[in-house]
Amino acid sequence: KQEVTQIPAALSVPEGENLVLNCSFTDSAIYNLQWFRQDPGKGLTSLLLIQSSQREQTSGRLNASLDKSSGRSTLYIAASQPGDSATYLCAVQVNYGGSQGNLIFGKGTKLSVKP
Amino acid sequence: DADVTQTPRNRITKTGKRIMLECSQTKGHDRMYWYRQDPGLGLRLIYYSFDVKDINKGEISDGYSVSRQAQAKFSLSLESAIPNQTALYFCATMGQAVGPQHFGDGTRLSIL
């Protein structure tokens, strides 16, 4: 059974710091890995999607990497800003049986960027 | 207008009541999903549908049922609500076998 783990559960940094959020998964049979942002009480905003054949994706100050063989992904945020404060969720899209295409989520990392 | 719309946005009800949460989409996607999120936890899959005639149970389907009334509409029902079903519920759609899922804004459900 696929399991997704995110470390740390919470992170507080001063504005301007570069930071890394970690995600690990137990089964390499995935189509892709997706990073989402969730603001309190709100829905999910898709940030980056990395296909299983890719190593990384970039969008603005965000860079996500994927090492499928070791079951790891990182989300790098450069020059953090208070507006980056949110919960970041990692999810893998599975590639087996009747669950094809379903997302398995980690519990998230709650990020707080202090001014 | 939002592509994936959930109604209601908030609901407070009592134990034992029957509740329906509705999801409609304008994206033309065949695949639709219902998730729940509890504080400090990620999203967990309740039910999913690949088309109008294809309904599948997810990880935590006990106590829930669904109806796919049309390609654009997917409803989640709690037949007899209990307090531990208090959670944030999300609907999502997907246009292909794999790819990004598109989420609604969620329904916050409280059962007293």
Q: In this predicted model, what pLDDT tens digit does every residue of B30-86 receive, in sequence order?
A: 999 999 999 877 899 999 999 999 999 998 999 999 999 999 999 999 999 999 999
- A31: nearest CB among B40, B98, B104: B98
- As a dihedral over the C-alpha atoms of residue A80, residue B104, residue A52, residue B45, rounded to 10 degrees, the angle is 120
pLDDT digits (tens, 9 = 90+) for A65-78: 999 999 999 999 99
- A103: nearest CB among B88, B101, B108: B101
* Tokens (6 digits) for A53: 């054949």
Q: Is the pLDDT of residue A17 over 90?
A: yes
> Which of A3-12, A48-57, A95-104, B97-106 comes out lowest in average pLDDT?
A95-104
Give the integer Cα–Cα distance in Å for B28 and B4.
10
Phi-psi region of A114 (alpha: psi -120 to 50; beta: other; left: phi over 0): beta
- As a dihedral over the C-alpha atoms of residue A23, residue B33, residue B95, residue B6, rounded to 10 degrees, the angle is -110
Q: Which residue of B has its CA nearest to A5?
A: B42
